[in-house]
Chains A and B, each alone.
Chain A
Amino acid sequence: MQEKPEVEPILSMNSVEVLYDNVMLAIKGVSVQVPRGEMIALLGSNGAGKSTTLKAISGLLKTERGRISRGEIRFEGADITEMLAQKRVERGICHVIEGRRVFEHLTPDENLTAAAPGGMSRAALHAEKEKIYAYFPRLAERRNSASGYLSGGEQQMLAIGRALVTQPRLLMLDEPSLGLAPFLVAEIFGIIQKINREEGVSILLVEQNALAALEIVSEGYLIENGRVVMHGTAEALKANSDIQEFYLGGGEGTDFHNVKHYSRRKRWLS
C-alpha cells in the first residue's frame, strides 16, 4: 500500500491532546515520530507530560480516566488512536510502565509466563525465557523466588524482560533508571541498546536522566508543560546551551557563581 514503507516511521503521533477526567489537559498537541529501528528519547522535567504521552500510545490512559481528545496515533500505518490496550500489545507495542510494577507475588518465571501472547507455544515461550535470562543473568539465578523481594535493578530487568515476552516491535520504557545506582543504570541502558540492535526493536525512552539517555538515542524530544518545545538529534541536543543548563547539570566549565539568576528560567515556557 505504502509506496515507500522504508521511510515511514513505525510510530507517528500527530498533534495529540489528552484530557483527564474530561477537564484537565495533560498534553496539548504533541507530535512525535519514531523511525523504524531507531531509539528515541522523550526528555523533560517532572509532570511535563512524558508519561502521559507514552500512555496515549499504549492505551493505558483509560485506566486513569484519561482519553485522547484530539489528534491521531498511527502504528505501522494503522490508526490505533481508539484501540484497546490489549490489541495494541498484540500489534507489537509494549509499555514498561513507571515504577517497575512487576507482579510481586509471582516469581520472575511466572511474571514472564503471564505476559505470553495467547498463541505462543510452550516451546516458543521456553525459548523466549531462555533468551531473556541470557540478557539478564541475575534474573535467571532468582527465577523461582518472589519478585517482590528482588532488588530495584532486578525488578526493572524483570519488567523489561516481561515486556519482551510480548514480542514488541516498539518498546516504550518509562524512567527505567529511576532510583537505581549508576552502575545499574549503565547495565540496563547497555541491555536496552542491545535489544535495539540485535532484535531490531524500535525504542521510545522516557528519561529524566537526560545525560544517560542522550548517550544512547539517536534523536530526542524535549517536552515541557504538555508541549514539544525542542526536537533534534542527540548531538544537537547535547550541544544546546539551554539543554546543558537545565537538563545536563551545566556545560563544561560552567561557573555557577556567574550564572545570572534571570537567565535561569526556561525561556520557552512563557
Chain B
Amino acid sequence: MELVFLAELAVNGAMTGLLYSLFAIGLVLIYKASSVPNLAQGALTMLGAYVVLAFADGLGMPLWVAIPLAAIVMFGLGFGIERVALRRLAGRPVIMILMMTLGLDIFLRGTTMAIWGATSASMELGVSYEPLFLGDLFISRIHLVGSIVTLVLFGAFMLFFRTRAGIKLKAIADDYTASWSVGISVERGVGLSWALASVVAVAAGVIWGEIQGVDQSLSLLLLKGLAVAVLGGLDSILGAVVAGIILGIIENVGANFLDPLVGGGSRDLIVAAVLILTVMIRPHGLFGRHDIERV
C-alpha cells in the first residue's frame, strides 16, 4: 500500500466527513436549545434543496439568487415550526419533543414527495468534476467546496455564540426557568435555533444535492449526521466539526481495507460501530458537556 494512496484516502475522507459535519451542525444548534436530536433534520435538508431548485429551475433564477432566497424561506419556516409545533411543548418531557421531531420528519418527507414527486432532480452548481491535484493527491472539487462552506459556517457560529443573542441562546440551553426569570424569551430563542438549523439545512442540501442528486435519499443523511453529532458531543459545534473529520477518515480508510474482505457495505458498519462505541465508552462525546458536579 502506497503512502500517497493512504493520504489520499484520508484527505478525501476528511472532506466527506466535513460534509457530514455541515449536516451535524444543524442537529447541534437544535439540541442546544431543545435538548433533543432533531429527527427532522434530514427532511429539512431535503426540503432546503427542493426550495433552492424551486427558485432556480421553477422560477428560472440564477443559483446565487435562489440559494439566499431559499435560506430566507427556510429561516422563516424554522420560526414557524417553533410557533406551531413546539411552543405548547415547552416544559414538557423531552420525549414529547423528540416524538414531535419524528412527526415533523414524516410530515416534511410526505409533503416534498407530494409536491415534487419521487424522481431525482439535479443541482447544477457548476463545480467542475475535473480532479484537482494537490501534489500527488487527487482531490474532489465539490468536496473541497463543501468543506470550505462547513468551515465558514463553523466560524460564523463560533462568533455568533459570543454575541448577546448567542449568549442568551446558551442560557436557554442551560435552564429554561432561570431564563424566563430574567426576561429571556425562551420561545424566541428556540425559534431562532430552529431557524438557524434550517438555514444550515439549505447549505447541506445544496452541497449534498450536487453530490448525490436531489431526492428522498437526502433525508437519509440523518443517520450519519447523528453519528457525527453524538461523537462530537451533541451540543458542541466544534465537536461536530472534529467528529466529522474523524468519522470521515475512519470510514474512508477503513472501508478501503474492509470492503474487499466483506464484499462491500462496510462503510455503514464502521459508522454504526463508531456510534455504538461512543455511546458505550464516552456518552457525552468528544466535546459534549456533562453536568457540572462540584466536589
* A-B complex is real: yes
Minimum distance in angstroms from A105 CB to a CB of chain B? 5
A59–B180 alpha-carbon span in the complex (Å): 9
- Whether the Cβ atoms of A97 and B184 lie closer than 8 Å is no
A59–B185 alpha-carbon span in the complex (Å): 13
Q: Is A169 an interface residue (CB 8 A)?
A: no
Contact size class for B?
Answer: 20 to 34
Known: A105-B292, A116-B164, A148-B294. A63 touches B171 (CB 8 A): no
A111–B176 alpha-carbon span in the complex (Å): 14
Q: Which residue of B lies closest to A65 (CB)?
A: B91
Q: Is B268 an interface residue (CB 8 A)?
A: no
Residues from chain A with a CB closer than 8 A to the CB of B170 are 103, 105-106, 110, 114
A212–B132 alpha-carbon span in the complex (Å): 75
Q: Give the total number of A-B pairs whose CB atoms are below 8 A apart.
A: 84
Q: Is B141 an interface residue (CB 8 A)?
A: no
Minimum distance in angstroms from B289 CB to a CB of chain A? 6
Residues from chain B with a CB closer than 8 A to the CB of A146 are 292
- Whether the Cβ atoms of B91 and A103 lie closer than 8 Å is no
Cross-interface CB contact of B182 among A63, A151, A166, cutoff 8 Å: A166
Binds B, one of A85-93, A189-197, A198-206, A214-222: A85-93
Q: Which residue of B lies closest to A165 (CB)?
A: B182
Residues from chain B with a CB closer than 8 A to the CB of A85 are 180-181, 183
Cross-interface CB contact of A103 among B164, B178, B185, cutoff 8 Å: B178
> Count the A residues whose beta carbon is within 8 Å of the partner chain — how many?
35
Near A by CB (< 8 A), chain B positions 50-106 give 91
Residues from chain B with a CB closer than 8 A to the CB of A165 are 182
- Whether the Cβ atoms of B180 and A63 lie closer than 8 Å is yes
Residues from chain A with a CB closer than 8 A to the CB of B185 are 86
Residues from chain B with a CB closer than 8 A to the CB of A31 are none
Residues from chain B with a CB closer than 8 A to the CB of A151 are 294
- Whether the Cβ atoms of B167 and A113 lie closer than 8 Å is yes
Q: Is A12 an interface residue (CB 8 A)?
A: no
Q: Is A140 an interface residue (CB 8 A)?
A: no
- Whether the Cβ atoms of B292 and A94 lie closer than 8 Å is no
Q: Is B168 an interface residue (CB 8 A)?
A: yes
A114–B168 alpha-carbon span in the complex (Å): 5
Q: Is A101 an interface residue (CB 8 A)?
A: yes
- Whether the Cβ atoms of A105 and B182 lie closer than 8 Å is no
Q: Which residue of B lies closest to A116 (CB)?
A: B164
Q: Which residue of A lies closest to B163 (CB)?
A: A113
Q: Is B177 an interface residue (CB 8 A)?
A: yes
Residues from chain A with a CB closer than 8 A to the CB of B124 are none
Near B by CB (< 8 A), chain A positions 100-120 give 101-106, 110-111, 113-117
Residues from chain B with a CB closer than 8 A to the CB of A116 are 164
Q: Is B175 an interface residue (CB 8 A)?
A: yes
Minimum distance in angstroms from A66 CB to a CB of chain B? 11
Residues from chain B with a CB closer than 8 A to the CB of A148 are 292, 294
The residue in B91, B171, B178 that gathers the most chain A C-beta atoms within 10 A of its C-beta is B178
- Whether the Cβ atoms of B167 and A86 lie closer than 8 Å is no
A256–B272 alpha-carbon span in the complex (Å): 69
Cross-interface CB contact of A114 among B171, B289, B291, B292, cutoff 8 Å: B171
A102–B168 alpha-carbon span in the complex (Å): 13
Q: Is A96 an interface residue (CB 8 A)?
A: yes
- Whether the Cβ atoms of B294 and A103 lie closer than 8 Å is no
- Whether the Cβ atoms of B183 and A166 lie closer than 8 Å is yes
Known: A63-B91, A101-B175, A149-B294. A106 touches B180 (CB 8 A): no
Q: Which residue of A lies closest to B173 (CB)?
A: A105
A260–B114 alpha-carbon span in the complex (Å): 81
16 examples of A-B residue contacts, CB within 8 angstroms: A60-B180, A63-B91, A65-B91, A89-B183, A96-B181, A97-B178, A101-B181, A103-B175, A104-B291, A104-B292, A110-B167, A110-B171, A113-B164, A115-B184, A149-B294, A162-B182
List A residues at the B interface (Cβ < 8 Å): 58-60, 63-65, 85-86, 89-90, 94-97, 101-106, 110-111, 113-117, 146, 148-149, 151, 162-163, 165-166
